[in-house]
Structure 1
């Protein structure tokens, strides 16, 4: 079974409730077991038009689904929760991103693993650092705690 890290975020409506609901829906998704969940954090939006702050968190799951099957499953869950297609960095009722899938490096037209911005985004690193600080980024070859410390310095 693969270990997968997911980023979860929302900034439309009751964003905390949306994130909690997404975690519950993932919990009851066949072939997925939640291992750990970070706290949810209020964060400023990154890019796009002016918008409400986000609520973000990270969960660690175990699954026998392939990366592509995970993507299909999470996109269906987003749609079920009311997410509509919108330009990149626009407000969303829910966003579920595959951050890491074991230590694989995967790239096709629909999915890039590791998430290409995971090592730069403080809101991702904060949640990852809470639940798995010693996980090593498979491309950058640094621990999450090291990447988080570096991001804290550069974001000040």
Structure 2
């Protein structure tokens, strides 16, 4: 099967979202709405929104980060391309590595796919090192997922310590049937 061709049955995937330029919350919501508006992606669960200190390049505003769980008929690479297209539509410019951005969409996990390709590595190679990814992911990851306990423990530790520069900013209730957000 071609890595870009659709899968025969839907797969579950997890996507991390981040923004620290412009109306951060609105950009996160726009990204989720654009993804959920596609016939090949169903947004199942939306995490809380967390404000986080920047990592890597620290001379920039704080981020809002969250994660979503989706069901998709797209292949991993096709889903990555949709995420990259969505970033571009929402004004993402790649000037500085780990620098300020309107929106950042990272494919974290896709079913049980393990791959190390030029365009995409799954699971995301640095997700277990990043509290700003693990805490929101802990909100949406399936109870039965093999990484659930590891993600939950790392997320709890990051929130408890308070040293990771992450705090709950807002809860968003997602109703996939209507496609509307309730804050």
Using the size of structure 2 for normalisation, the TM-score is: 0.77
Kindly state the Cα deviation for residue 153 of structure 1 after the two structures are TM-superposed: 6.7
Runs of 4+ in 1 over 4 A off after TM superposition: 150-155
CA distance, structure 1, for counterparts of residue 25 and residue 81 of structure 2: 23
Q: Which residue in the other structure is 2:18 paired with?
A: 9
1:5-154 pair list within 5 angstroms: 5-132=14-141, 134=143, 135-137=145-147, 143-152=150-159
Residues 135 and 156 in structure 2, CA contact (< 8 A), matched pair in contact too: no
Task: Give RMSD over aligned pairs.
Answer: 1.9
After superposition, the Cα gap between the structure-2 partners of 1:42 and 1:153, relative to the gap in structure 1 and judged at 3 Å, is closer
CA distance, structure 2, for counterparts of residue 78 and residue 52 of structure 1: 19
Kindly state the Cα deviation for residue 30 of structure 1 after the two structures are TM-superposed: 2.8
Kindly state the Cα deviation for residue 154 of structure 1 after the two structures are TM-superposed: 7.2
After superposition, the Cα gap between the structure-2 partners of 1:71 and 1:50, relative to the gap in structure 1 and judged at 3 Å, is same
Kindly state the Cα deviation for residue 22 of structure 1 after the two structures are TM-superposed: 0.6
Residues 42 and 53 in structure 1, CA contact (< 8 A), matched pair in contact too: yes
- Segments of structure 1 that go 5 or more residues without pairing to the other structure are none
- The number of aligned residues is 153
Aligned residue for 2:30, secondary structure, equals: helix
Kindly state the Cα deviation for residue 148 of structure 1 after the two structures are TM-superposed: 2.2
CA distance, structure 1, for counterparts of residue 75 and residue 116 of structure 2: 13
CA distance, structure 1, for counterparts of residue 162 and residue 49 of structure 2: 20
Tell me which structure has the larger Cα radius of gyration: 2
Residues 133 and 144 in structure 1, CA contact (< 8 A), matched pair in contact too: no
